[in-house]
Structure formats: structure tokens, C-alpha cells
A and B are shown apart, each in its own frame.
Chain A
Amino acid sequence: MNMIEVSGLSKSFGANRVLEGVSFVVPKGTVVGFLGANGAGKTTTMDILCGCIGADQGEVKIAGYDITDQDLEAKRRLGYLPDVPPLYGELTVQESVKFSAEINGLHSSKIKSRLSQVLERLSLGEVRGKLVGNLSKGFRQRVALAQALVHDPEVLILDEPTEGLDPHQILQMRELIKSLRGDHTVLLSSHILSEIQNVADSIIIINRGKVVTHGTYEDLTSKFEGKRAYKVRVGNSYENALAALRNLPEISELKLSDDRSISFNLSSANEMGLDRVAKTVVDGGFGLRELSQTSKSLEDVFYQLTR
């Protein structure tokens, strides 16, 4: 079942077209990364998904409910952490989370226990009585996430949740997001590629208001060029091995790497070619030490898709 369904979303601010025909789905229980450069349209998409602003065209369904026509039902199943944490500095941590629980319609009998659970899960117990305005950036971000989580929504939309955090806090936040997988469906936006790579089950890349690709990390890095990158490390006679491999028709972009291994691309439709590579090295007496796939990095894919 898809918990987020977006189809044909378009939005303009004046003459500036921000989104154009954005469509994607997020399956239940998965963490999906929403990757794009600054100004690509991530926050606008998320604001539309959460019902903060309307789209010019297109449809958004949260857990099967239309965000425009059945907004209350959709929002009951939604938790949103915007890029700027929506916090009242004059409230304490506990008051902030309780306020969010109340406006999200959590029954009063459940608020106390749920509050304790969320504060404990986000390690906010020791600061629960402190004013939000006096907290550090990391704590404030966690309070905002607690506000989004307190009513136990099925769908969580997190807009750049690690923005402005120190490396230690980033790791904590990533672990937390990973722990949400399964119980919650998470759409996570970021312009930090490693973050998405580490946390997400699949990735949507958006560029200039259009979705340019959607798939798992492996799909994106391999399918993108229709070729897979490999490297073979030999025991001796690197130049001779290079020359012998050059005769194989199914491999391309053969070159000697800095670590004296030979890298090459192989057409994904012709994986039998790997056997011939191995046979050539062994029969040539070059000494096969390693034959492995080298994944194309997400950076490569991202830059090629968004340049």
C-alpha cells in the first residue's frame, strides 16, 4: 500500500514555476529520500503534501485521503517537521509537545503516557522543564521532531531534519530516522547526499521542479548508465593484463587505477562477460586477486542528473 501518492503536482509563485508535474509514491513502512539542490522544489512539495499551501494542479493523497478534500483525515495521519522548526520559545519542552498532541487530537487519556514515551525516545527527558527558547539547536530540532511524532502518525514528512546539527547530532538523528522505519512511512528531504544514502530505502531526485528519477540507491547507480562498473586486481604484469582485457568486446572504459587495479565498465545486459574477464586473467597467468563491482556514487548520479 502506498501511504503517500503524489500525481501531477504543479505550482507557480507569480511567474516563477516552482513545480511541474511532480509525481511519486511512497510505500508503507519505508523511508524515502527526497533529494534535490537548494531551490529544487523540495520544501514547496512538502508544504503542499502537508496542506500548508495549495497546488495549482495535481493531487496528493496521504494514507488514501486527499489532502485538499479530506484534509482533516489526511492530517490526522501526518506528522511534519518543516525546515524551520515550528517552536514557541516561551513554552517548556513538555508544554510544546503536549500542545502539539492536543491540537493533533490525541485523546487526553493518552497524552501523559505518549508524552513520556516520545520524550524518552528522543532523549528529551532531562530538559522537559526547560524553555524551548533556551535550548541548543540540536535539542530544538529534537523537540520539533517530538511534536511531529507525539500523535503517532502513520506518515512522517521531515524537511532537512539534520540541517544545522553538529556531526554527533547528525548521527543521532539518522539513527532515530532509521528506527522509524516499519512503524512509520517517512519522506525525508535533504540536499546532503550521504545522509539520504545512509538512511533511505529509495530515493527521489528532484531538479528544477521536476522529478528526474526515483529508485533504490543500487538502481540509480547502476541503471543510470545501463552499465556496471567493476575492478579487477591482478598479481603481476598489469600492463599485459590490461592489453589482454582490451580484446574483450563486452567491456569498455578500461583503465589502470591508482591502486594498480584495472577498472572497467560492463554492459548490464552481458554479465556473462565477467566469466570471460576472470578466464582471461587466470589463463594469462596474471594472478587473479580480486574481481568486484564498484558502485557509482550517488554524487555521480546526482550531478549527472541535475547539472
Chain B
Amino acid sequence: MNSIMTIAKRDFKSGFATPKSGAVLFFFLLFMGLFFSSFVKTFIEFQARAGMMGGGGAPTMEQLIKAMFYNLHFILILIVPAVTMGTFAEEQKSQTLRLLQTAPIKAYEIVLGKFAAAAGLMGFVLLLSIGYPLFLKAHGTPDMGVVMSSYLGLFLLICAQISLGIWISSLTKNQFLAFIFTMFGLFMMLVLDFISKAVTTSGGQIEGVLQYFGTTKHLDVFFKGLITVGDSMFFVLFTAMFLFFTTVTLDSRRWK
């Protein structure tokens, strides 16, 4: 446990000591701010237009919040790969992984330490976005239960995305390749629900399986203000599975 914390602390601190984290935070806040202001502007315009037409069909605050969180899901596809691409690829390239591999610690401790650092960094990024729902609360009456469940869902999604990114990073020494393949993987997770209909016969078993492995359907539940065991477990198991794959990847170098 100590080793996990030691590795997590070093990675977290190093994450903030390099320009990469600054760039991640900057672009996250930039994209988030641009989209949010655009959504709020559209929301106000549509409300005003609906008001002139008697109030029917006016967009609700819930719709605005949902749009904001869907947008956040999309932004994460760009941000998470930037955070995870170096976790193992950089350590392999600079040979610092040998320092960890020759220490009396298990491979899973290395993996969990790196996961905790990346999750901590992304948790901090997520925390920064709380300003947007707080802005809405100051100017309206958003359902804070929905906001909180959405944040929980997003954090679980981030954990799953990080675990996939870390696994891909463990497969290569090239950070750029890790970034590209992670982004592709996360994009597939986002669109699997939509493309399942196109690639399978309607209502077939394969469509159901593909939809299950897409993240959108599970995240929708949290965005509705619901926290279910099934959808939470999807993200937890997804995370555990890719952390396990990463551990196996590291350990496999020592196999005879």
C-alpha cells in the first residue's frame, strides 16, 4: 500500500511539474468554457423565443445540464489520452521503469500507483468544472441531485478511460502512438452505442452486446439522476479489467 502511495505521489507531483498538465488544464477549461457559454447563450435565446411564443417548448435547465455533461464526455476523449499516454510509454523510453521493476514491489502496485495519480489529476480537472453548474445554480434552479449523480458517473467513466489509456501506454514506448490509440479507443466507447445499430441486424444479440460495451448508455443513467449498481459495476469492472491487463503486460516481460 505504501508503494502504491509513493508511486502515486511521485506521478501526481511530476504531472504538475511538467508543462503537459498545464496544457491539459488549459485546453480543458478553454473547451469547456467555449461550449458552456455557447450552450447558455443558446438556452437563453430559445427561452426568450419560447417566451415570445407563449412559453411552450422552452428548454429546461435539466436539458442544459445534460448538454453540458455530454459535452464534457466528448472533451474527455481529448484530455484523458494526454494524461495517460506517458504513464508507461515515457517510463519505458527513459528507462525509469527499471527503477520500479527492480524494486521489491509487485507489478499491480506499480499499476495502481500510476492509476491513482492519473485519476487524482483528472479528479482535479473535474473539480475545476464544478464552477459551471455552480454558475447555473446562482442564476437558476438546477437539480443538484442530477448534477451530483452526473459527476459520479463522469468520474467512473474517467477511471475506465484512464485504465484503458494506461494499458495502451504499457504496450509501447511511443507516447504519440499511445495518445492516438487511446483516443480511438475512447471514441469507440463513446460511439459504440450508435454504430451498433449500423453494423448489426436490428435488435440482434450482437447489437445488445455492442451497446452494453459502449459508455453512453451507462452514462445516460447517471445523467438522469439515477445511480444503479449495474451501471456503476460496468465502469468498475471495465476499470479493473484493463488494470489487470496492464499488470499482465508488465509481468509478461519476466515470464520464461
Asked if A86 is at the interface of the complex by the 8 Å CB criterion, the answer is yes
Tell me which residues across on chain A come within 8 A of B253, comparing CB atoms: 52-54
CA distance A178 to B21 in the complex (A): 44
CB nearest neighbor in B for A57: B256
Given contacts A68-B256, A91-B14, is CB(A78)–CB(B102) below 8 Å?
yes
Report A-chain residues with C-beta under 8 Å of the C-beta of B202. Answer: none
Determine if A86 and B10 form an interchain contact, defined as CB atoms under 8 angstroms apart: no
Interface residues of A in 61-111 (CB under 8 A from B): 68, 71-73, 75-76, 78, 80, 82, 84-88, 90-91, 99-100, 102-105
Kindly identify, within residues 17 to 52 of chain A, every residue whose CB is under 8 Å from any CB belonging to chain B.
Answer: 47, 50-52
**A52 with B102, Cβ < 8 A, contacts A86-B96, A91-B10 known:** yes
Q: How far is the CA of A51 from the CA of B95 in the complex (A)?
A: 14
Query: Which residue in chain A gives the minimum CB-CB distance to B254?
Result: A54
- Note all chain A residues with C-beta closer than 8 A to B2: 102
A68 and B6 CA atoms in complex are apart in Å by: 24
Name which of B14, B18, B106 has the most chain A CB atoms within 10 A of its CB.
Answer: B14
Q: Which residues of A contact B255 (CB under 8 A)?
A: 54
Is A86 touching B99 in the complex (CB atoms < 8 A)? yes
Residue of B14, B18, B105, B254 touching A103 (CB-CB under 8 A)? B105
- Shortest beta-carbon distance, A7 to chain B, in Å? 14
Chain A: minimal CB distance from B22 (Å)? 13
Q: Give the complex CA separation of A68 and B104 in angstroms.
A: 12
B91-131 interface code vs A (CB 8 A; 1 in, 0 out) = 00011111111111110000000000000000000000000
The CA of A87 and the CA of B93, in the complex, are separated in Å by 12
A105 vs B254: C-alpha distance in the bound complex, in angstroms? 21
Judged by a CB distance under 8 angstroms, whether A55 is at the interface is yes
Check if A104 sits within 8 Å of B254, measured CB to CB.
no
CB of A104 within 8 A of CB of B101, answer no
B7: interface (CB < 8 Å): yes
Beta-carbon contact of B99 and A52 below 8 Å = no
A88-B14, A90-B17 in contact; A103/B98 too (CB < 8 A)? no
Q: Given known contacts A68-B254, A68-B256, A90-B18, is B96 in contact with A75 (CB within 8 Å)?
A: no
Contacts A88-B96, A103-B6, A103-B7 given; indicate if A56 touches B102 (C-beta within 8 A): no
Answer whether residue A147 sits at the interface, using C-beta atoms and an 8 A cutoff: yes
How many pairs of A and B residues are in contact by the CB < 8 Å rule?
77
For B249, list chain A residues within 8 Å (CB).
Answer: none
* Residue contact B99 to A147, C-beta cutoff 8 Å: yes
In angstroms, how far is the closest chain A Cβ from the Cβ of B21? 11
B144 to chain A, nearest CB (A): 39
Q: Which residues of A contact B17 (CB under 8 A)?
A: 90
Within 8 A of B (CB), among A216-275: none
Cα A91 to Cα B13 with chains together (Å): 9
> Within the assembled complex, what's the spacing in Å between the Cα atoms of A50 and B103?
9
Interchain CB contact under 8 A, B95 and A84? yes
Q: Does B3 count as interface, using CB distance less than 8 angstroms? A: yes
Closest to A77 in B: B104
Q: Which residue of B lies closest to A67 (CB)?
A: B254
Contacts of B102 in A (CB 8 A): 50-52, 75, 78, 80
B7 nearest CB neighbor, chain A only: A103
Residue on A nearest B18 in the bound complex, by CB: A90
Alpha-carbon separation in the docked complex, A229 to B10 (Å): 58
Provided the pairs A76-B104, A80-B98, A102-B2 are in contact, do residues A54 and B256 lie with their beta carbons within 8 angstroms? Answer: yes
Give the one of B94, B97, B98, B254 with max A CB within 10 A. Answer: B98
Residues from chain B with Cβ under 8 Å of A88 in the complex = 10, 14, 96
Residue of B nearest to A76 (CB): B104
A56 to B253, CA, bound (A): 11
Q: Which residues of B contact A147 (CB under 8 A)?
A: 99
- Of B3, B98, B102, B103, most buried by chain A (CB within 10 Å of CB) is B102
Q: A80-B102, A82-B98 are in contact. List 7 more A-B contacts (CB 8 A).
A: A50-B102, A51-B102, A84-B95, A86-B98, A102-B2, A103-B100, A104-B104
A residues apposed to B, CB below 8 Å:
47, 50-57, 68, 71-73, 75-76, 78, 80, 82, 84-88, 90-91, 99-100, 102-105, 147
Give B residues with C-beta under 8 Å from A: 2-3, 6-7, 10, 14, 17-18, 94-106, 253-256
The 8 A-B residue pairs with the shortest CB-CB distance in the complex, in nearest-first order = A86-B99, A75-B104, A90-B17, A103-B103, A84-B95, A54-B254, A102-B6, A86-B96
- 11 A-B residue pairs with CB within 8 Å: A52-B98, A53-B253, A54-B255, A55-B256, A56-B256, A68-B256, A71-B104, A82-B95, A84-B94, A87-B94, A102-B6
